[in-house]
Amino acid sequence: MTRMIQGQLSAAGERFAIVVSRFNELITERLARGAVDTIVRLGGDREAIDQVQVPGSFEIPLAASRLASSGRYSAVICLGAVIQGATSHHEYINSQVAAGLMSVMQTTGVPVTFGVITCETMDQALDRAGGKVGNKGEEAALAAVEMVRLLQQIDRIG
């Protein structure tokens, strides 16, 4: 018989850092609110959440690295919004941010979630920040909590 190992959705007793891009603040503020509300809804303490603001999405990985390396946080939730302009600049930003966050997670062993949305228009971004498509900040927080608990389960395997 196989054993199923999975994380539970309980944030009780854990500390979280949320890195939020200031660029496209109309969107990122909503993503951050969704992440905080989700952690609290899952039993986390609002006082155990530190929110760090960075200028733009490109700066998220450096702040995430410092936070994850500090040993103070169970997980780091990263939130930003990159909206396509007239050039392909957004493609370079997104791929580098994703690669940077994956590297932080693999290097530190701390769950780092990717809540950086990429959209063609502001309307699409609003849809993903609490509109028709849900809130990607909430999804990033759910993934962070689940990964914290999953890694705890893996560490307990005898």
89 is catalytic: yes
By CB atoms closer than 10 A (0-12, 13-18, 19+), residue 9 is middle
Say which residues have a Cβ less than 8 Å from residue 131's Cβ, sequence separation at least 6. none
pLDDT < 50 stretches in the chain: none
How many whole angstroms separate alpha carbon 141 and alpha carbon 14?
A: 12
| Catalytically annotated residue among 12, 25, 43, 89 | 89
Say which residues have a Cβ less than 8 Å from residue 73's Cβ, sequence separation at least 6. 15, 16, 17, 50, 67, 110
What is the reported pLDDT for 158?
Answer: 64
What is the reported pLDDT for 126?
Answer: 92
pTM (2 decimals)? 0.94
What is the reported pLDDT for 9?
Answer: 95
Q: Which of 33, 9, 3, 10 is nearest to 115 (CA)?
A: 33
Provide the token pair at 123: 């309307």
Residue 155 φ then ψ, to 5°: -65, -25
The CATH number of domain 16-152, selected from 3.40.50.800, 3.30.930.10, 3.20.20.70, 3.40.50.960: 3.40.50.960
What is the reported pLDDT for 90?
Answer: 60
What is the reported pLDDT for 86?
Answer: 52
Domains of the chain, residue spans: 16-152
